[in-house]
Amino acid sequence: MKAVIQRVSEASVTIDHNRVAEIKEGLLILLGIVATDEVDDINWLAKKIVNLRIFNDAEGVMNTAINATNGDIIVVSQFTLHASTKKGNRPSYIKAAKPPVAIPLYEAFVKQLEHELGKPVQTGEFGADMKVALLNDGPVTIIIDTKNKE
């Protein structure tokens, strides 16, 4: 599982001119899933994200996690995070999990994230053509790959 985590002042997801998700301060998470992802990846990633100390404390230092800020989260599926650009100029998405595998993992990740955060998490729609808008705060953008835990 690969996640691009962006600290935002606001973010939204629109599908067919309908806003399906909208938050103020919080995190926008783009999530890519591969066929070898499993429950351990979900649990580790959700816990890691909720405990990342990337929000400013009273002294203006990034020392506070989202669960202490009462911030919100939007999760958007994004198979292109697993693009391979090694050969040629057209990315290959062969590593990205197909929907029958990816959808249950995506849904399980959202549920685990809600459990860790202690409140509902908003989402886009798996496989839909989405328009994602955000105001990146910082900017703070962190990439985490569960296959390369650094």
The pLDDT, as a whole number, for residue 29 is: 98
Contact 3, 53 (CB under 8 A): no
Catalytic residue selected from 14, 64, 69, 80: 80
121 within 8 A of 13, measured Cβ to Cβ: no
Query: 81 in helix, strand or coil?
Result: helix
**Homologous superfamily of domain range 2-145:** D-tyrosyl-tRNA(Tyr) deacylase (3.50.80.10)
Exactly one of 6, 55, 79, 123 is catalytic; name it: 79
Taking the CA of residue 52 as centre, how many other CA atoms within 13 Å lie in the half-sphere pointing to its CB? 23
Q: How far apart are CA 31 and CA 81, in angstroms?
A: 8
Question: Cβ(49)–Cβ(115) under 8 Å?
Answer: no
Q: Are the beta carbons of 123 and 74 closer than 8 angstroms? A: yes
Q: What pTM, to 2 d.p., does this model score?
A: 0.95
Q: Is 78 assigned a catalytic role?
A: yes
* Sequence spans of domains, the chain: 2-145
Q: Is 126 a catalytic residue?
A: no
Out of 6, 78, 112, 122, the active site residue is 78
**What pLDDT score does 14 carry?**
98
Based on the residue annotation, tell me whether 55 is a catalytic residue of this protein: no
Q: What is the full per-residue pLDDT of the chain (150 aa) written as tens digits?
A: 999 999 999 999 999 999 999 999 999 999 999 999 999 999 999 999 999 999 999 999 999 999 999 999 999 999 999 999 988 899 999 999 999 999 999 999 999 999 999 999 999 999 999 999 999 999 999 999 999 886
